[in-house]
Amino acid sequence: MIMKHDTTLETLLLSEPDLIECGVLDMHKCVKTMIDVFQIYETGDWRMSGKDGCLHGGVVTFPEDRPTFNMPEPTPDRRYVAMCGYLGGRFRACGGKFYGSNRENLSLGLPRSILTAFLNDTDTGAPLAIMSGCLISTMRTGAMPGVANKYLQASTARTVGIVGAGVISHACCLSLVDTMPKCEHIYVYDLFYEKSVAFCKEMTEMTGIPADAVKSMEELVRNSDAISLASSGQNPAYVKSEWLRPGATILISGGGKLDDELYLDPETTLIVDCHRMHEHSMEAQKLPDGTIGPGARQYSTYQYFKLVEAGKVPFGRAVELSKVVSGKYNPRTNDTHHAVFMSGGLALEDVAWIYEMYQTALRKGVGTRFKFWDEPHWK
């Protein structure tokens, strides 16, 4: 006898206030979750989009020579992006996020990027949850410099430097403080000094650690043991090697430019989140002559791959973070050499933090149930 199964399909809707109640802003937990992600990454129990499962995601942008008058203009940061993946291990979950981005949103009082996150049943594909994605994405992005810093920092590290007083930098600062046990001071530099001052006040209130706004990149770099570059724009922040303290770690989440000599120095530790994903990003930006075009400057690995392309740095010189987290690679043998972490952002990170929010919401009874159907109209 064939038993009839319940065909009712419901999903859990979680608003931003719901997620805050579920602990989406708990950076310590987020860092621990991201460490779990990269331990699983090392086992190979994961997939992202693309034939080899390593694509960042699907991106829709708009051309300068618009074919129709009503096509959106290619204004700064205007794009639509879909990122999804499967993460195994204790998660065994599928999910991701979709977002639209436009820098002009800021003038409307909206975030530059507005995100929707989703979690699906790994077997049926049914949506388990749909939720606000802005805080989820911000927290997992900001957690990654902290994860890398936990393993890359010198034992003498005492100070954090934050470049760019934007939303992502708030999370980056929290993760760096969380993973630097002896942190004594925070330094912040932004092109708009008043933003740095406001940022410092907020971070001191949140962390209890003194924070000062500085008026130049040089001042910030000379005073910082861990430097987060998470600024956006056409002119990336420039870090000169001569400014760096012995043993300093540079953590690139957004735009940032370093002296080539830092990449060329064999003693510099180079770490990347997913080497193959960055290869795909560079391939997508190649010009007709086969060289990497200037459009790739937005990526944290742009300089690295340009030097690889020029034959100055061996291909694969950058080690994946999972090797470090799993204990297979020791990134630091002394407190004087420098380390660089280049982050691109993996859908796996989103899946993990979405999963944690979903599980917490179930335990707390938070969220609103939305019914898709009692029975599908067409099967």
Quick: pLDDT tens for 276-320.
999 999 999 999 999 998 888 888 999 999 999 999 999 999 999
Tokens of 317: 């010189």
Per-residue confidence band for 5, with pLDDT thresholds at 50, 70 and 90 = low
341-376 burial: b if 16+ Cβ within 10 Å, else e: bbbbbbbbbbbbbbbbbbebbeeeebbeeeeeeeee
Q: Is the pLDDT of residue 235 over 80?
A: no
Beta strands in the chain (DSSP E): 9-14, 46-48, 58-60, 79-87, 93-101, 113-120, 127-132, 159-163, 185-189, 211-213, 226-229, 238-239, 249-252, 257-258, 269-272, 319-320, 339-342, 368-373
Residue 3 CA: distances (Å) to CA of 6, 313, 374, 379: 10, 62, 17, 17
Q: Is the pLDDT of residue 65 over 60?
A: yes
| pTM score | 0.94
Question: Which part of the chain has CATH 3.40.50.720?
Answer: 145-345
Q: Give the relative orientation of helices 167-179 and 193-207 as an angle to the nearest 10 degrees.
A: 40
Which pLDDT score, from 0 to 100, does residue 298 have? 84
- Specify the pairing of strand 113-120 against strand 127-132: antiparallel
Mean pLDDT, to the nearest integer, of 180-194? 96
CATH of 10-137+348-372 among 3.40.720.10, 3.40.50.11260, 1.25.40.10, 3.30.1780.10: 3.30.1780.10
Q: Is the pLDDT of residue 1 over 70?
A: no
CATH of domain 145-345: 3.40.50.720
**How many other CB atoms sit within 10 Å of the CB of residue 62?**
13
The percent of residues in the chain predicted with pLDDT above 70, rounded, is: 98
Low-confidence winner among 141-150, 218-227, 370-379 (lowest mean pLDDT): 370-379
Quick: pLDDT tens for 239-280.
999 999 999 999 999 778 999 999 999 999 999 999 999 999
Which pLDDT score, from 0 to 100, does residue 3 have? 44
Task: Give the Cα separation of 84 and 72 in Å (integer).
Answer: 25
The percent of residues in the chain predicted with pLDDT above 90, rounded, is: 88
For CA atoms 141, 332, 224, 155, the dihedral sign is: positive
State whether residue 99 is helix, strand or coil. strand
Question: Which part of the chain has CATH 3.30.1780.10?
Answer: 10-137+348-372
Quick: pLDDT tens for 14-44.
999 999 999 999 999 999 999 999 999 999 9
Distance from the Cα of residue 183 to its chain's centroid = 22
